Amino acid sequence: MSQSLARALRILADLAEGARSLDELASLLGVHKTTVLRLLRTLEQDRFVYRDGAYRYRLGSRLFALSSRALEQREVRGVAAPHLARLNQATGQAVHLGACEDGEAIYIDKYDGRHPVRMYSRIGLRMPLHCTAIGKTLLAGMPRAERERVVERIDYHPFTPNSITGPEALLAELDRVTAQGYAVDHAEHETFINCVGAAVRDAAGEVVAAVSISVPDMVLGYEGVLELVPQLLATARAISVDSGWDPSPAGGGQDHI
């Protein structure tokens, strides 16, 4: 990757975190302002960035158009949308759809809960594999050898006292996920959020995504969240069927991950 391209991509990544001035971008990149200004002018010409009235740079409309196209190309997102909307309506809780991308989990759709407590999650945000229900579900859906390779490379950051902190514990947890057919995040990523997740399969039976229900504990306790598992599993199964998966024994279907 050329140095200029790498710097331009870094600028876009920094602007995704919020508006920046020229001086701030130069400081973040560790280069002179004239270098950053040349890159910004090129990005501005193609509407990847724009400068507001306070002379701060922000992401431009071209990126929003590209992100919409990228989401449209995620076939499972379109198939899942009506099912996710129904699950959100039926439970009143936040519903997410996630998938693997370059060895990480990423949110590709979200429906907010009806309660006033809002989660920081958003479409496009990456999430840790070891302490989220979606991450565990996607890991459990991998072939055993691939799963073990990925688990060894994870940074086991302890987000909360409940976070899994090593590969052996995570592999044991993934065996439980496989056996019971769903994953849990019992205040492992955020201390006040409980979550359950289930796998979505494609026509070949491969796990291509995961759907989850996330609930703040002041809205519903952990045991109450577990009571939502049957609705979650029914939704994941319906999305899988609409994606071409045959759940019958003759089609290789299975209820566990």
For residues 156-177, average pLDDT: 96
Q: Quick one: pLDDT at residue 63? A: 81
CA–CA dist 66, 49 (Å, integer): 13
Question: Which tens digit of pLDDT belongs to each residue from 68-84?
Answer: 655 544 588 888 999 99
pTM to 2 decimal places: 0.71
In order of their start, the domains of the chain are: 3-62 (1.10.10.10), 74-251 (3.30.450.40)
Question: Which tens digit of pLDDT belongs to each residue from 173-202?
Answer: 999 999 999 999 999 999 999 999 999 998
Q: Quick one: pLDDT at residue 61? A: 84
Query: Percentage of the chain with pLDDT > 90?
Result: 57
Question: Whole-number mean pLDDT of the chain?
Answer: 88
